[in-house]
Structure formats: C-alpha cells, structure tokens
Amino acid sequence: MKRKSSLYILGFLLFFLNSTVLMAQIFAPGSIDTDETNYPVFTETDSIFIFCTDNEVAEIGALQVQTQLEGTKTFLWENYNNETATFDFYFSESSEGQESNITGLANGCYRATVSLGDTTEVYRAWVFNNWIAASASVANSDCESFKLVGTFLSAGMKYYDLEDNSELEVFKDMRVQWKDGQVIVASVLSPQIYGPPTKDTEYTFRVYDRFGCEFTTDVTYESIVTKAFFSVDPPEGEAPLTVTFNNQSENGDPDQYEWFFFRDLDDIKREAETTQEPIDSIMIVAFDENPVYTFENSGTYMVKLVSKKVSEFHTCVDTFYLEDYIIADSSFVAVPNVFTPNGDGTNDLFVINFWSMQSIEITIFNRWGRRIHYWEHDDIRGFENTWSETVWDGRLMGGRFASPGVYYYNVVGVGRDGEQRRAHGFFHLFRDKD
C-alpha cells in the first residue's frame, strides 16, 4: 500500500497531530512474483510478494523501503497480528540513508513508517514464503498398465482484511505434470498408464503454481512387460526354402520364446472343408531364440512368435505374427523351344530350368515317336535360385548327331509340395548339315 499526503496549513497540522503522511516506495528483493489484496471492507489495496522456498520452515521473505527524505530518519517496522487485529512492533532504526531492509521474514503483513520531523511516510505489504513438497511412486503394475501416484502439500497463503479482520486466501492455481524425458504424459495427479514401456523408465513429477514456484521429483517404473517382434530372411524363394528368423523382441526372457510354424495355408483350408473337427494347424513348435528353419515343400506359411517376461507376481506375454506369409515357390520346369548344337559355343546344349522339385525325369522323342534320349535327377535340394541342368547335347545313342528337325519332350516330376508335375511340348533342333 502506498499513501502520501502533505499538510501545508496549521489547521491540518493540528488535526493530524503535527504529522505529514506521504506515499512511499516498497520493494521485496528476491521475490518471484507479486499479487494484490482484494479486501472486502478495507478500501485500500496492498501488494503481495511471493517468495519460493525449499521447505515449510524456511523464512526468506525480505522487504525494502526507499525514501527521498534527507537527514536522519526513523524507520519503524511493524507486523500485523491477526489475533488482536493490530500492528505489533517488529524493528526500528534511525539512519541518514534512504532505505531500510528487513530480512528472514515469516508470512504476514508488514507496515513501515518513515519519520523525519513533521513528515511521515507509511506503507504496507504482505509477504508469503511459498513452498511445495511432493512425492511420486508406482502402483498397480501389471501386464496391461500401471499407475503413477503423485501426492503433494503446499503452503497456504492466508491474509486478513485490515478493517474487519476477515480471513482471505491467495489463489495459487496448483497444477501437476508427469513427463517422460521431454514428453508430457499426463497432467493429472495419479494417471493410469496403459501399454507400459518395455524398458525401465524414469518419470518426472512436477507440481507448480501460477507464481512460478515448483517442486519436481523422479520415480522409476521397472518394466515387467515384453514386446514380441521378428524379421525373416528371405521372406520368399524356391523350395526347399531355408529362412533365418531374427528375434528383435524387447525385454523378453531368453529362455521363454516360443515359435509356432503353421502348415501350408492351402492344406489347412482343404482339411477344413472336409471335417467339422478342430484342425491342428501347427506344423512344429521351436524354442530357439533365433531359429533357422527349412520349408521343404512349396506353399504359403505363417509363423508366430510368443515372447514372455516372468516377474515376481506376473508372467506377461506378447505375440507377433508376420504381416505377410512366407512363400516357398511352387514347383516349376522351363524347357527351351529351340537349341542349336553346331559347336559354335552358343546354345549348343539343351538346358532346362526348374525349381522346387524333389525329382524329375525328361524323355525326348523324335517326330516318329521313338525315344532317343532319357535324363533323370533325384533328391534335388539346397538351391537358392532357379536350377539349370544340361539335359541333352544333341547326340543319339552311340554318339551320332541327331538330325535337325522337330522333337518332342515329356517331363514327369514330383515337386517339394509332394504334388506330381507334368509338362510336354515340342522344340526345334537346328544344325548345319555336314
């Protein structure tokens, strides 16, 4: 509060007991923020100075009065007593200086009177040591969620109407915040966190008010959950297809992985169409951390990984399926429609391409239906790409060159899926005659 008046005539001097009341300057060094009183009865307004403290017993309030009066002055400090509704003596000093300071102040209203002869300056201000204390913990941790529990206390800032001594309170607008690093995860006191992280995570609990006072504390969530994930290499190819499974699960126990390799999708569908009984769709179950598996037969396959995390009170489980099926290519044979065994080094051999075959037989006939060549191959495996094989060099039995013309081939084989494969057709043999 600031008040200044000058009395210049004798009548006023007598009325005010030979004193002059002047406006004065008041400051609060080290305060964090200010507010103003809202007295319901008292007609004046006083400043409220806020000091942020570390605890509830700290008293760091400070006030400073400044004056322009020259000479030896008396600085009288008083403290408001709400029990008696009067101001009690606090501190006094005489000084030629233009300021007076008081420090280590408790909460309350302080009044300073600066006197020099017939001149008096009077001011008031409220001081509050504003503290916050908080704690944080983790509760109800299970496989689905956990709870961050926050509690706090803060200083009450009560002041009084200087006319009727009625009690009032400064509005602090208390707020809370939970952060994971720089990310705000909640702004409520005790949030439930769903989808817990798979690693131990430190959360910061912050309590603050509108004046800028705050308190922070940390709590660590110890993860009890896992997240299953894996990749495959390669995702497709010809049968037999050897696939490496790269386990990229998070926070799983190394001895708790389960891999479920499903049967060929078409086989499962065909069996489902012929029975009303439950179908066993699992081909094998593996327990390696990073298995390598060979799909011997062509088909469309799904693989599932189950990851587990075992803790004192819970066993948390997560499952991951491949987004796309593993494709072991169907059996196939490709036969050229022409070859030229003339010794020029180009296309001199009759070469077939095939993949995903367990066995294959190829018979070649001339245009009169006589068999002139036979070729077979068993136990074909381990091929990463299409396999090429020289079937015929263009010679007949006995070593003679076959005549140019049209020939007929017949292919019979068994694919990696166990299905029989057949192919037949014609091809042309070109050669310059001797």
Residue 313 lies in a domain: yes
Q: Cα–Cα distance between 73 and 58 in angstroms, integer?
A: 31
Number of folded domains that form the chain: 4
Of 221, 249, 282, the position where a domain reaches its end is: 221
Mean of the per-residue pLDDT values of the chain: 89
Same domain? 319 vs 404: no
What's the CATH number where 288 sits? 2.60.40
- The pLDDT value given to residue 227: 98
Same domain? 347 vs 322: no
- Whether 394 and 431 have beta carbons less than 8 Å apart is answered as yes
pLDDT tens figures, 351-369: 887 777 788 899 999 999 9
Same domain? 214 vs 141: yes
**Percent of the chain with pLDDT strictly greater than 70:** 90
In SS3 terms, 55-87 reads as: CCCCCCEEEEEECCCCCCEEEEEEEEECCCCEE
Same domain? 12 vs 124: yes
**Looking at residues 382-403, what average pLDDT do you find?**
76
pLDDT tens figures, 95-139: 999 999 999 999 999 999 999 999 999 999 999 999 999 999 999
pTM assigned to the model: 0.70
Same domain? 317 vs 356: no
Same domain? 262 vs 144: no
Same domain? 321 vs 336: no
Same domain? 152 vs 251: no
Name the one residue in this structure whose structure tokens are 């057709």: 425
Does residue 377 register a pLDDT over 90? no
Q: Cα–Cα distance between 392 and 365 in angstroms, integer?
A: 12
Residue 419 lies in a domain: yes
- The pLDDT value given to residue 386: 57
Same domain? 126 vs 138: no
Which has the closest alpha carbon to 63: 30, 38, 36? 30
pLDDT tens figures, 18-63: 343 444 489 999 999 999 999 999 999 999 999 999 999 999 999 9
Residue 186 lies in a domain: yes
Residue 357 lies in a domain: yes
Same domain? 187 vs 86: no
Residue 58 lies in a domain: yes
Of 106, 130, 154, the position where a domain reaches its end is: 130
Close Cβ partners of 345 (under 8 Å, ≥ 6 residues apart): none
Of 130, 161, 177, the position where a domain reaches its end is: 130
Residue 392 lies in a domain: yes
Same domain? 149 vs 160: yes
Same domain? 92 vs 179: no
Does residue 143 register a pLDDT over 90? yes
Residue 287 lies in a domain: yes
Does residue 241 register a pLDDT over 80? yes
**Looking at residues 239-259, what average pLDDT do you find?**
95
- The pLDDT value given to residue 364: 93
Residue 434 lies in a domain: no
**Looking at residues 79-98, what average pLDDT do you find?**
97
Q: Averaging pLDDT over each range in 14-18, 19-23, 335-339, which range is the top one?
A: 335-339
pLDDT tens figures, 182-231: 999 999 999 999 999 999 999 999 999 999 999 999 999 999 999 999 99
Domain that holds residue 321: 230-329
- Whether 32 and 212 have beta carbons less than 8 Å apart is answered as yes
Q: Cα–Cα distance between 226 and 196 in angstroms, integer?
A: 9
